[in-house]
Chain A
């Protein structure tokens, strides 16, 4: 009975859906997190009776044919790269991107990772780093005697040092953009890696055409909408239940067939 396997594919798909939704809800308060969405597609169809085939020698043609589907599969789970709300933090090293683009982060392995989470800090050498201590690229060093740091919309980092009145430029934050942002590979810790699907990084200055502006003293909240996720969870649960009902029915029909007396 095909129905058993079809319903099982439906249950597996809904289970994946719940996993994606629960990850979204769990990361509701993760800085720069982009919610994901599971997209489903129908599986292959079996042509039991091919449409357009002749049903008699007089040339009568079957108009629609019989195609029976084999269930559902997860087509893709993609990130919805919608802007999250900038949240004021008051921390002067917090930077949110308002618009397109990713911060570039140098990983210990030498690779460049990309992130939307701009909750940076300064390490022992005065370098601007992420929470995990990975340096923001290009390198920006804040002098030890800096009394104030300002990051402009276009990414210019200026400091005012002790006894000076003129601000001094110490660096420029650059952003990277991709043709297909959804194709970036998430590696955890809010970091993403470039893949063949995302296309190569295109590096530019914030606030230029195609890049967002920077907001100092803000971080970007996740774009998870709690109400939408909870309703998606309810829909997934009901769909799961319906598929299990199909399995029960198919099972009972099989048992009826098995009990026919000869």
Chain B
């Protein structure tokens, strides 16, 4: 077979995967705390499919990984006392659920029947000393920029906001959660601020995503045409050579 067809095929496969990722970005354009992703492509020098006398290099397209943009999403005022947003990049609320530790940027918290602060999915929000228990009867919940929770002027706990030395250790777990896929320990993030009654929107840029979408589609079409042309070329070659013999 021709190298060109295989090179084209490698691009088509990555384009499809790119489309899947762009579709996920757009579907989550309105998801609290969602971080946009893109496919990282690399050049992969491959073995040639045929042994030619002249040896030009062949490189295939490989998807090497998914890059996440942990940039700040827009803050939206919600006027709900248990909505929190982190202002500052790369830091997360620490959570604990049935599957262990989790981290999130989605601060739409609620109380469970025992007064424990949890996510909408039921994961317990962690404070400096474990779970945070609030008694709504004690009065309005106020949260300071450093995460200190107070009711009636009395501090009752502190939201634990953490970061990782490298964000590459985080794995998305769905439900707005990230899980630590390594044994790197999180450290307290003291340089970010917690904002009460605010939620962080996704950092998806709709215009960019739609442009990506068009680009993917056109690239897919042109690669398809290239494969067709290569195919035509070899068919014609076979026809003509066959005639000469």
Which A residues are within 8 Å of any B CB, using their own CB?
A: 1-4, 6-7, 9-10, 13-14, 17, 37, 39-45, 47-49, 51-52, 62-72, 75-76, 78, 80-82, 100, 177-183, 196-200, 202, 209-211, 235-236, 238-239, 242-243, 245-246, 249-250, 252-253, 256-257, 260-262
Assembled-state Cα–Cα distance A253/B213 (Å): 11
Is there a chain A Cβ closer than 8 Å to B89's Cβ? Answer: no
Which residue of B24, B32, B110, B213 contacts A180 across the interface (Cβ within 8 Å)?
B110
Give chain B interface residues in 145-171, CB to chain A under 8 Å: 168-169, 171
Assembled-state Cα–Cα distance A42/B104 (Å): 12
Of the listed residues B66, B79, B182, B227, the one surrounded by the most CB atoms of chain A closer than 10 A to its CB is B66
Q: Name the prevailing secondary structure of the B interface residues.
A: mixed
- Besides A10-B23, A41-B175, A63-B168, 13 more A-B contacts (Cβ < 8 Å) are A13-B27, A45-B174, A52-B182, A62-B64, A63-B65, A66-B66, A72-B28, A72-B31, A75-B120, A78-B108, A177-B136, A200-B113, A246-B22
Assembled-state Cα–Cα distance A44/B217 (Å): 25
Give chain B interface residues in 16-40, CB to chain A under 8 Å: 16-17, 19-24, 26-32, 34, 37, 39-40
Nearest chain-A residue to B175 (Cβ)?
A41
Is there a chain A Cβ closer than 8 Å to B67's Cβ? Answer: yes
CB distance from B61 to the nearest CB of A (A): 14
Whether B113 contacts A198 by the Cβ 8 Å rule is yes
A47: chain B residues within 8 A (beta carbon): 171
Which residue of A48, A72, A179, A202 contacts B27 across the interface (Cβ within 8 Å)?
A72
Is there a chain A Cβ closer than 8 Å to B228's Cβ? Answer: yes
Whether A69 contacts B217 by the Cβ 8 Å rule is no
Is there a chain A Cβ closer than 8 Å to B128's Cβ? Answer: no
B34: chain A residues within 8 A (beta carbon): 42
Assembled-state Cα–Cα distance A76/B110 (Å): 11
Whether B30 contacts A69 by the Cβ 8 Å rule is no
Whether A68 contacts B17 by the Cβ 8 Å rule is yes
CB distance from A197 to the nearest CB of B (A): 6
B28: chain A residues within 8 A (beta carbon): 10, 40, 42, 69, 71-72
Known contacts A69-B24, A80-B79, A52 near B181 by CB under 8 Å: yes
Known contacts A62-B64, A66-B65, A76-B120, A40 near B30 by CB under 8 Å: yes
A67: chain B residues within 8 A (beta carbon): 37, 66, 171-172
Nearest chain-A residue to B224 (Cβ)?
A256
Nearest chain-B residue to A246 (Cβ)?
B23
Whether B210 contacts A49 by the Cβ 8 Å rule is no
A260: chain B residues within 8 A (beta carbon): 224, 227-228
Whether B137 contacts A42 by the Cβ 8 Å rule is no
CB distance from A237 to the nearest CB of B (A): 11
B227: chain A residues within 8 A (beta carbon): 260
